[in-house]
Structure 1
Amino acid sequence: MTRPNGVIQLYPLVRIALMLILGIMLADAIPFLSNPNNSVTLLLGTTAVAVIAIRHANFSSISILTATTFLGAWLMAIQKTDSQLCPTNQNITYKAIVTDTPVQHGKVLKCNLLVIDIAETNNTQAPFLVRASILKDSITQRWKTLTIGSAIEVQSVLNNDFELFSSSKFNFARWMQAHQIQATTFIYYTDWQDSQLSNTEINRIPTITKLRLQLLQARKNLLNQAWQQKLTTDNQALVASIALGDKSNLTYTQREAYSKAGVSHVLALSGLHLGIIYSVLSFVFSTLLYRFVRRDWAEFIAQTVIVATLWAYVFLVALPPGAVRSALMLTLYAFVSLLHRDRLSANTLAFACIVMLIANPSSLWDVSFQLSFLAVLSIIVLYPPLCSLYKGSSRWAYFLRPIWNLTCVSVAAQVGTMPLIAYYFGRFSCYFLLSNLLILPLITLLLYATLASFFVQGAPFICNLLTYAMQWLATTVQKLVEYISSLPHSAIDGPQINLIQTYLAYVLIAFLYILGLYIRKWLRIRQQIRQL
């Protein structure tokens, strides 16, 4: 069997992901590739060359990678073209539905509206998303009736001049593009009223949007369960955020405290939460199913049920990008585990990246997307060498090993995301290690208790017991976060770096990593020589 010619050959999906990213960036920067006709012509041409040259391995591989680049360019070009169909800078009347939980911001109510029908047009522009700020009225307070799925008729001016909201670090236009929102609008409280959608208008709503609205409504019903009302307001917001991905009730003070403590990631549904669910389900199957069913069949059944459960949970929380990325990775992780292959690798991460970029090319510029993938990549690359530094064999190793593993995961993720956090937010959390060691175990227990409470609503005693546990755990987490964030120098604000410095920081990290590998190899060879 021939060896792969180079390390990159071991990771074919990484090459595909890199070429796809390159194509998206080129289409965003070069007007010629921003034209879908030009991009698809180049895509078809390079694909034809790859098919013709299939017997010439090297030339065919280059053609496939080039075609992947033009695929990324074509997808990006289509999305940019679609975003230009929104009518702007004119007063229009339209029907829309609320697609997320309305959130109060001072005198306005902010939410996303899916525009379905525009009056006096041929409707070729609809449907598309708009970020709306609705002025609250203090007399009738009609704004309180707005909820997920509300249909309204509106008269307002749509605006796509996003430069007014951008800063040197935050590109509002990029954020809107990544979330596929085409315009903003301000709606006076007399310029909207409740409405009903006709069957024709309902049919214009994309299927994925209908599904997401139903899922958000199901999540809202779960949040309105009786157990939720037994928690304090802050604890309700924390539990809703970590268990169901609803961050609408988190206060600015809470968000700031978690940011200073270095544990903001626990507030967003991501790999941490799905990893916890995957771990507990794997433990349950390993202790029950494997004892009664032949191991190969037991493993197949276990992984199938676990993956189905994970995706059911991701759909329940309305498909947030971080949870989708994690579910994709864990799905591939479960599949390759059946083949007894390397389960968590760069190929697994690249697979999730490819799927998400094909679905939404603009998510490449989403800050949460970048931080999420960089954190996981850093863990994949840096965790093994860091973990191997501790070779405890004493009687305390059984207790120290989990602490060391958690420390290594936290350090690896922090190293990978630190330059990007400094670039976007200008903040470094000094006590991130302490925070993760103390808070992550409690968050794990809190998530277990919350998910368990969903299934025991018919058993009042158990439900009350779990509610008490949730209240205690959430309160403890809040107090720990407040204490750590209030410590002297808990966060260093102001290490602002530009884009070039960010790239150089990652080059430095890569250099130090490679240098560490060479030093480790040299020490191993030296030890072998001594043994001789």
Structure 2
Amino acid sequence: MIAGHKGEIPFLILTLPFLTGIACALCLLNSNPNFIATLLIALTTLFIGLNLTYNHFKLHKVRWLGGLLIVPLLFLLGWLVTLLHYEKRNDNYFTKQRSNYLVVNISSEPVVKNNMVRFNAEVVGSVNQKNVTKTSGNLLITIKDERALNLFYGQQLLIPSKYTEVEPPYNPGEFNYKAYLANKNIFYQSFLYPGQYKAIDYNKGNRLIAYAVNLRQQLVAKLKRNMHDSTAIAVASTLILGYKADLSNDVLQAYSKTGTIHILSVSGGHVAIIYGLLIYMLAFMNNKRSKLLRSVIIITLIWSYALLTGFSPAVCRAAAMISLVIAGKTYNRYINNLNLLAASAFILLLLNPFLLKDVGFQLSYLAVFGLVIFQPVIYKQLLFKNYMANKLWLFCSVSIAAQLITFPLSAYYFHQFPVYFLVSNLLIILPVTIVMYAGITLLLLPQISWLSAALGYVTEKSILSMNKMLVVIERSPYAGINKIWLTRFEHLLLYAIILFGMYFLYHRKIRWMYAALLCILLFVISIDVKKIKTDKTNSVTFLSLRKHKGIIFKAGNRGLILSDLPSTDKNFAYSVQPCLDSLRIISYKVLPFYGDTSTTYFVKKHGIVWFRNKKLLLLNDSSHIKSIPKTLAFNALYVSDNMHVNDSLARHQQIILDGTNSDTYIKNVMKLNVNNIILKRNKSLTILSN
């Protein structure tokens, strides 16, 4: 199923302890790299010494000794490269230097959204009065200024030394943007306005990347000249060049819900299409003398394409694998695909061990693992004599294998499953191929009015047809299963079910089926226990929203939300909806803070709320209550909009202060009662109400 013997997959075996070392280091980033380096050097010295004295000590009698040393060596290597990659521990990290200004180099292509320019920047110096100190570290910079539209990769800026730590998610289910940036070695961000930055130099980035960024911008401009529909242009730019800045959320949602989001992430499939085109174009170079030259040309062009798309992990993985395959075929060597996969992972993680926590990296490698291991097993389950039926089943087995291995992880991270993934993936094969070949031809050829217009027309119509098909599938009944919230235990159980099930199909041994059935039983029990517990739970969640108010009252699988945010607001979708989904609330109603409401489990009158066994007082600018008798007791006071609170009441009641209150107001209230709860820039509060 994996290999005939372990000699076919040495890199896979060696990569496992390396991955384990990286994983441990990511959990213990504050460990001492000097201690790890000392251990690594000691074991390396011992390993070399044993190899030099191999014959003298007759070590061939203890073959296990070499393996025993290689495992901890690779484990420590993974640990050490991770700690060295963690910039925040460096002595010259920019937050450890006193400074008035920072010198930064723009290290990513600036992206414009909502009239704001955002980019990553490398902090190369700190200015303290007249002294300039060399520093390290990365910073996420957002600028709200029309002139910032002219900023570009490699430009050097002088900015004020004003930055804040990237905030963690404050509400249940909210996207962890802090962890996402931490995987890129970014822990701080800066917001700038007109007059707060100054361009002081140019060409400070990598010249090769600068050339690729500039070339990609020119190619995107060429697509815009020869295509008319903005959505088609955005999809073409993303699909062919990996340029996602112009892609709308509606388009992303359509592709995500139909299980075809992978085509918008330039990956192995795109590289394979490029490889196929190059093989066809260079087919005449097939003799012994020209084979090596053809391989060099193909590998160079594939890595040039990888550079053009921004060196995404998926493209680098595919480029590394194809390069090794080409090298093997050139010299007539057999190479196990799983070994190639492990080798490419080892190289990429050696360069950037933080990729191990990147969701795209994980999904990309899992998908290829599924294709290499599971696809042949699935394909052999059905045999068709008809050529077309056999080809159709081949495509289906590829899609099933990739979806099967990535489903637990995608469900764990994204909480959804596209039911019609097989149909949608089959339908997009032809249009995606047409878009890639027509689009690439358009970009490679010089601008010839009639030919460029024709290629642009074909590319645009193919994308629009593909989008229409996906929209139909997205709007079909039961197109997707949403609100899937798995625990880590359930996530691992799903993988156990898949692995045991595939082992049963491959070996046909009943014990593997029993193991899969046992895991299914445990999975169902876990889901049922969780559902019963959820349906019986009543709670009140005070949300932490910037400049907005929000309280969720959960009664089993029903919910009622008091908020000044409408359900159509993007802040509601980002902070409130994920919380509702994570609480397993199926039906809910959004109500404003003003007005009275009465249901079977909730009563609100004049700012006083009765919910199960809890009684709350809501003080805000829409409240009719301006003063409360101090003898009236509440479980909590929820205060918004800097509303005045009676001193006596503040000392005897617990107060919850939301994000609409000013910092000065919060400080004054906290002086009255230090046990009060502040939601502003803090995690939300959930209390049970049974």
Output the TM-score relative to the length of structure 2: 0.67
Separation in 1, partners of 2:375, 2:223: 42
> 1:154 offset after TM fit, Å?
1.6
Partner of 2:601: none
What amino acid sits opposite 1:22 in the alignment? Answer: T
CA distance in 2, matches of 1:166, 1:276: 42
Contact 1:364–1:370 (Cα < 8 Å) also in 2: yes
Deviation at residue 145 of structure 1 after TM alignment = 2.5
Equivalent residue for 1:109? 117
Structural mapping, 1:172-251, within 5 Å: 172-193=177-198, 195-197=199-201, 205=204, 209-225=206-222, 228-251=225-248
**Mapped partners of 1:62, 1:152: distance in 2:** 51
Structure 2 partner of 1:460: 449
The within-5 A match list for 1:147-186 is 147-164=152-169, 170-186=175-191
- Tell me which residue corresponds to 1:123: 133
Structure 1 residues 215 and 266, CA gap change in structure 2 (3 angstroms) = same
Specify the SS of the correspondent of 1:249. coil
- Structure 1 pair 122/166, CA: closer, same or farther in 2 (3 Å)? farther
Q: Find the aligned partners of 1:384 and 1:281 in 2 and give their Cα distance.
A: 27
Are the counterparts in 2 of residues 111 and 132 from structure 1 also a CA contact under 8 Å?
A: yes
Give the aligned residue type for 1:21: L
Give the Cα separation in 2 of the matches to 1:235 and 1:228: 12
- 3-state secondary structure, aligned to 1:110: strand
Partners of 2:111 and 2:245 within 8 A in 1: yes
Matched, 1:27 2:25: yes
Tell me the residue number matched to 1:67: 73
Q: Which runs of 5+ in 1 are unaligned?
A: 523-532
Deviation at 1:297, TM superposition (A): 4.2
One-letter amino acid matched to 2:70: I
1:52 pairs with 2:14: no
**Separation in 2 of the partners of 1:165 and 1:455?**
48
- The answer on whether the counterparts of 1:334 and 1:343 sit within 8 Å (CA) in structure 2 is no
For 2:241 and 2:446, the matched residues in 1 are separated by: 17
- Maintained 8 Å contact 1:227/1:467: no
State the alpha-carbon separation in 2 of the partners of residues 176 and 453 from structure 1. 35
Between 259-268 and 168-177, report the one with greater CA deviation: 168-177
Q: Do the aligned partners of 1:88 and 1:159 also contact (CA within 8 Å) in 2?
A: no
Q: Which of 489, 493, 507 pairs up with 1:504?
A: 493
Give 2:82's match in structure 1, choosing from 62, 69, 76: 76
Pair 1:212–1:166, CA change in 2 (3 A): farther
| 1:69 CA displacement | 0.8
Deviation (angstroms), 1:445: 1.2
- Whole-angstrom distance in 2 between the partners of 1:107 and 1:89: 32
Residues 83, 411 of structure 1: CA spacing in aligned structure 2 closer, same or farther, 3 A cutoff?
farther
* Pair 1:269 & 2:266 matched: yes
CA deviations 1:387-430 (Å, max 9, x no partner) are 22343334xx1x23332221111110001100000110101011
Q: In the alignment, which of 412, 425, 442 is matched to residue 431 of structure 2?
A: 442
Whether the 8 Å contact between 2:377 and 2:505 is mirrored in structure 1 is no
Residue number in structure 2 paired with 1:309: 301
Which residue number corresponds to residue 530 of structure 1?
none
Letter in 2 for 1:367: V
Which fold has the larger relative contact order, with Cα–Cα distance below 8 Å and residues 6 or more apart in sequence?
1
Cα deviation 1:9-58 (Å, max 9, x = unaligned): 531101221111111122223467x2110111111111122222233332
The one of 451, 465, 477 aligned to 1:488: 477
Amino acid at match of 2:219: L
1:98 is the counterpart of 2:98: no
**1:123-142 correspondence to structure 2 within 5 Å:** 123-126=133-136, 128-136=137-145, 141-142=146-147
Partner-residue secondary structure (3-state), 1:154: strand
- Shift, 1:315, TM fit: 1.8
Matched, 1:300 2:298: no
CA 1:500–1:90 in 2, change beyond 3 Å: closer, same or farther? Answer: farther
Is 2:98–2:126's contact at 8 Å kept on the other side of the alignment?
A: no
Distance 2:470 2:406 in 1: 21
Q: Contact 1:344–1:380 (CA<8 Å) still a contact in 2?
A: no
Deviation at 1:506, TM superposition (A): 1.2
Instruction: Provide the C-alpha distance between the structure 1 equivalents of 2:171 and 2:133, rounded to a whole number of angstroms.
Output: 31
Identity of aligned residues (%): 23
- Is the CA contact 1:162–1:173 (under 8 Å) kept in the aligned structure 2? yes
Residue 380 of structure 1 aligns with an amino acid whose one-letter code is V
| Alignment check: 8 A CA contact 2:234 2:244 kept | yes
1:110 shift after superposition? 2.2
1:402 is aligned, of 391, 416, 424, to: 391
Q: Is the 8 A contact 1:114 1:129 kept in 2?
A: yes
The worse-fitting range, judged by mean Cα deviation, of 96-105 and 466-475 is 96-105
Cα shift at 1:330: 0.7
Partner of 1:322: 314
**Deviation of the 1:376 alpha carbon:** 0.5
1:167 and 1:328 map into 2 onto residues whose CA distance is 39
Structure 1 residue 298: Cα displacement: 5.0
Q: Note the C-alpha offset of 1:515.
A: 1.6
Letter in 1 for 2:163: L
Contact 1:449–1:466 (8 Å) recurs in 2:
yes
Are 2:285 and 1:289 aligned?
yes
The structure-2 alpha-carbon separation of the partners of 1:336 and 1:98, relative to structure 1 and needing over 3 Å to count, comes to: same
Cα displacement string for residues 484-532 of structure 1 (whole angstroms, at most 9, x for unaligned residues): 112122111111112222122212211111122221899xxxxxxxxxx
Q: Distance in 2 between matches of 1:230 and 1:335?
A: 39
CA distance in 2, matches of 1:403, 1:495: 30
> Secondary structure of the equivalent of 1:119?
strand
Quote the Cα distance in structure 2 between the aligned partners of 1:355 and 1:489. 42
Q: Secondary structure at the match of 1:403?
A: helix
Q: Distance in 2 between matches of 1:520 and 1:300?
A: 46
Residues 500, 472 of structure 1: CA spacing in aligned structure 2 closer, same or farther, 3 A cutoff? same
| Contact 1:435–1:481, Cα closer than 8 Å, also in 2 | yes
- Describe the SS at the equivalent of 2:133: coil
Residues 373/180 of structure 1: CA separation in 2 closer, same or farther (3 Å cut) = same
Q: Which residue of 2 aligns with 1:420?
A: 409
Q: Report the Cα offset of residue 377 of structure 1.
A: 0.5
- Shift of residue 339, structure 1, vs aligned partner: 4.2
Aligned position for 1:528: none
Q: Which has the higher helix share?
A: 1
Task: Tell me the alpha carbon deviations over residues 197-242 of structure 1, each in whole angstroms, 9 at most, x when there is no partner.
Answer: 28xxx6xx56xx3432221111111111266453311111011001
More deviation, 51-60/323-332 = 51-60
Structure number with higher strand proportion: 2
> For the structure 1 residues 285 and 273, does the alpha-carbon distance in structure 2 shift closer, same or farther, using more than 3 Å as the test?
same
Q: Rate the CA distance shift 1:490–1:342 in 2: closer, same or farther, 3 A.
A: farther
Question: Distance in 2 between the 1:6 and 1:92 partners?
Answer: 63
Matching residue of 2:15 = 17
Classify 1:166/1:81 alpha carbon distance in 2 versus 1 (closer, same or farther; 3 Å). farther
Q: 1:49 & 1:90 partners in 2: Cα distance?
A: 44
Residue-by-residue CA offset, 1:154-208 (whole Å, 9 max, x unaligned): 2252233542478657543432232232422222334223x2228xxx6xx56xx
For residue 466 of structure 1, report the CA deviation from its aligned partner.
1.1
Alpha-carbon shift at residue 370 of structure 1 (Å) = 0.5
Worse overlay, 409-418 or 105-114: 105-114
In 1, distance between residues paired with 2:50 and 2:459? Answer: 61
- Calculate the TM-score normalised by the size of structure 1: 0.86
Q: Could you tell me whether the CA contact under 8 Å between 1:165 and 1:172 is conserved in 2?
A: no
Give 2:366's match in structure 1, choosing from 369, 374, 388. Answer: 374
- 1:350 is matched with 342
Check the 8 A contact 1:91/1:157 in 2, yes or no. Answer: no
The 3-state SS of whatever aligns with 2:134 is coil
The answer (yes or no) to whether the contact 2:106–2:122 under 8 Å persists in 1 is: yes
Specify the structure having the higher radius of gyration (Cα): 2
Q: Residues 479 and 451 (structure 1 numbering): CA distance in 2 closer, same or farther, change over 3 Å?
A: same
